[in-house]
Amino acid sequence: DAKTTQPNSMESNEEEPVHLPCNHSTISGTDYIHWYRQLPSQGPEYVIHGLTSNVNNRMASLAIAEDRKSSTLILHRATLRDAAVYYCILASGNTPLVFGKGTRLSVIA
Amino acid sequence: EPEVTQTPSHQVTQMGQEVILRCVPISNHLYFYWYRQILGQKVEFLVSFYNNEISEKSEIFDDQFSVERPDGSNFTLKIRSTKLEDSAMYFCASSLETVLSYEQYFGPGTRLTVT
């Protein structure tokens, strides 16, 4: 079973920032925090991952708590194309990804 | 940008028939995976493949399933005798071999319908 806890759904207005939370209180020292998303009728898509420090890429930012028991995915300006299910996943090395139910993000125009 | 491709996009088969789902991973990737997603449910891991052998498999991946890398580019999933409950989206994924971490790149999926 997934080792993370996420809200079932969230809503955002277009062009507003979105903060998607994830709790992972049982994270181990070797676990990386990964975020994937799945747009409707598509395969999962890698978003970002990190270990301890905050990370930025062209898609999003990842803020990791100092104790690593929680993290937040930040979409700086939500667009309609960001409407998707977002998955927070702990993984180390090349272990298989364990998907939970994720957070369904709705973006309102 | 390199991407994982899968064929066919949709496969309809009768119960008891064999199906082969095909994937072309990203060319310099070394780890390959199959996942499936039954309609309305979570994405589930089936099998991972590295260095020409299965490295890990889930309990879903029973004797009816097999994987193969028949040449340097294709990665296939075979279901020997399909059942109604095999109806799902099947996603192939690949990743680089890294010591510390990795990201997996997923294909668009094959929708398998067993009638």
Q: In the predicted model, what is the mean pLDDT of residues B41-49?
A: 96
Q: Quick: pLDDT tens for A91-109.
A: 887 788 999 999 999 999 9
Q: Under DSSP, is residue A81 helix (H, G, I), strand (E, B) or coil?
A: helix
CB B69 within 8 A of CB B75: yes
CB B22 within 8 A of CB B112: no
CB B67 within 8 A of CB B34: yes
How many residue contacts between A and B have a Cβ separation below 8 Å? 61
CB B100 within 8 A of CB B106: no
| A residues 55..74 contacting B (CB < 8 A) | none
- What values do phi and psi take at A62, rounded to 5? -125, 120
CA dist., res. B67 & res. B76, Å (int): 5
Per-residue pLDDT band at B98 (split at 50, 70, 90) = low
Which residues from chain A sit within 8 angstroms of residue B100, using beta carbons? 32, 51, 93
Q: Quick: pLDDT tens for A1-29.
A: 558 999 999 999 999 999 999 999 999 98
pLDDT score for A4 = 96
Which residues are bridge partners to A84 per DSSP? A105
Q: Quick: pLDDT tens for B59-76.
A: 999 999 999 998 878 999
Interface-testing mutation among A55, A85, A86, A97, with chain B (most B C-beta atoms within 10 A)? A97
DSSP string, B49-63: EETTEEEEE-TT--T
Per-residue pLDDT band at A46 (split at 50, 70, 90) = very high
CB B6 within 8 A of CB B21: yes
